[in-house]
Amino acid sequence: MELMLNGIRQSMLDGATVADAVASLTTRTRGVAVAVNSEVVPQAGWATTALADGDRIEVLTAAQGG
Amino acid sequence: MDDLTLAGVTLGSRLILGTGGATSLHALEQAIRASGTELVTVALRRVDPVGGRAAGGLLEILERCGVGVLPNTAGCHTAVEAAKVAHLGQEAFDTTWVKLEVIGDERTLLPDAVELVPAAERLVADGFTVLPYTSDDPVLARRLADVGCAAVMPAGSPIGSGLGISNPHHVRLIRQAVEVPVILDAGIGTASDAALAMELGCDAVLVASAVTRAADPARMAAAMRHAVIGGRLACEAGRIPRRFHALASTPDDGRPAL
């Protein structure tokens, strides 16, 4: 399936979860937050939240900011 | 200097440091340590290992410095967007505190009052401790306090401008208009601006660019630390009234006839 991961088009295997998407960017889980199609997915649900074709996933972390 | 109590939490420093603008994490760490702050702001951005934003590096430094993390909603333009970022911040940093920013104009980065108040109201209802970045409008500050914000953070002048406090009278009026702490946020250029904010009665000062973009960030951080302490003490000490003419401090009594 094709989806948008942090604004970049990606192919992922059918059945991939939020946890898989996060793992493709970072091995860390602390200090990371995820939204799928603009809805927050709590960390406890990453492994069980399946992604679908066309999903927009935002994987976010701390950045310098005032 | 007396402690600052913010939403029931006691902070030993009345200086809050924004982390934006630092040239390196090393420079940022030195500035944090020199500032004596106990609370720093962070933004939430995409993990980008290729572009150099790996997850975790900034947080590790903040943990090492022993400072609290205050996530912001920088870059948000609507109440809906800001509320979502606040919830993502809660997920990432395990805190219900948020520096709420809803920007209404790209050139000045001034807040959008029409979006800010409902955003604050909604996040308060969601259980957040809301610290809104606001303009220097005393009525808007009162509205934000009325919907349950834990503090109000008026801009002295536009973010990153270094113009200082463009309307000191309004800052004083805001201090009188609300019961919650007033934190002067944005526009500070140098130490005297921070001292003035405290002399005007502000409870704390938030500084980012003035420190992180200074030629020597750690030294400016130390300057801000002392400025905030000095301004607070001066405010509490009570300044002398301004006079049009001089008033001798040395008595005439006992002056020799020569």
User: Which residues from chain A sit within 8 angstroms of residue B48, using beta carbons?
Assistant: 6
Categorize the per-residue pLDDT at B50 as very low, low, confident or very high, splitting at 50, 70 and 90.
confident
Contact B91 A40 (CB under 8 A): yes
Residue B249 within any structural domain of the chain: no
ipTM above 0.90, yes or no: yes
Helix B217-237 crosses helix B191-199 at what angle (to 10 degrees)? 20
Residue B172: its pLDDT value, please? 97
Residue B1: its pLDDT value, please? 73
Residue B86 within any structural domain of the chain: yes
Highest mean pLDDT: which range of A26-35, B17-26, B188-197, B248-257: B188-197
Residue B89: its pLDDT value, please? 97
Residue B254 within any structural domain of the chain: no
* Nearest-by-Cβ selection for A62 from B58, B74, B208: B58
Please give the span between the terminal C-alpha atoms of chain B, in angstroms, as a whole number. Answer: 48
Residue B204 within any structural domain of the chain: yes
Contact A33 B92 (CB under 8 A): yes
The stretch B190-215 carries a mean pLDDT of 97
Residue B118: its pLDDT value, please? 97
Cβ-contact B193, B164 below 8 angstroms: yes
Categorize the per-residue pLDDT at B15 as very low, low, confident or very high, splitting at 50, 70 and 90.
very high
Residue B43 within any structural domain of the chain: yes
pLDDT digits (tens, 9 = 90+) for A10-58: 999 999 999 999 999 988 888 999 999 999 999 999 999 999 999 999 9
Residue B258 within any structural domain of the chain: no
Residue B161: its pLDDT value, please? 95
Residue B246 within any structural domain of the chain: no
User: pLDDT > 90: what percent of chain B?
Assistant: 91
3-state secondary structure of B226: helix
Helix residue ranges per DSSP H, B71-213:
79-93, 113-125, 138-146, 168-177, 191-199, 209-212
* Cα A43 to Cα A25: distance, rounded to the nearest angstrom: 15
Residue B57: its pLDDT value, please? 82
Which are the catalytic amino acids of B?
A: 99
- Cβ burial of B34 (10 Å; 0-12, 13-18, 19+) is buried
Contact B55 A38 (CB under 8 A): no
Contact B54 A26 (CB under 8 A): yes
Q: What is the total count of domains within chain B?
A: 1
Q: Which of B37, B45, B47, B87 to mutate to test the interface with A (most CBs of A within 10 A)?
A: B47
Residue B143 within any structural domain of the chain: yes
Categorize the per-residue pLDDT at B55 as very low, low, confident or very high, splitting at 50, 70 and 90.
low
Residue B190: its pLDDT value, please? 98
- Residue B91, C-beta contacts closer than 8 angstroms, at least 6 positions apart: A33, A34, A40, A42, A43
Residue B90: its pLDDT value, please? 97
**The pLDDT of residue B109 is above 90:** yes
Cβ-contact B56, B93 below 8 angstroms: no
The stretch B58-76 carries a mean pLDDT of 94
**The pLDDT of residue B105 is above 70:** yes
pLDDT digits (tens, 9 = 90+) for B221-252: 999 999 999 999 999 999 999 999 999 999 98
CATH of the domain at B10: 3.20.20.70
Domains of chain A and any CATH numbers: 2-61 (3.10.20.30)
Residue A29: its pLDDT value, please? 86
**The pLDDT of residue B23 is above 70:** yes
Q: Which of residues 129-168 of B touch A (CB under 8 A)?
A: 159-160
Domain limits for position B53: 4-237
* Cα B126 to Cα B228: distance, rounded to the nearest angstrom: 33
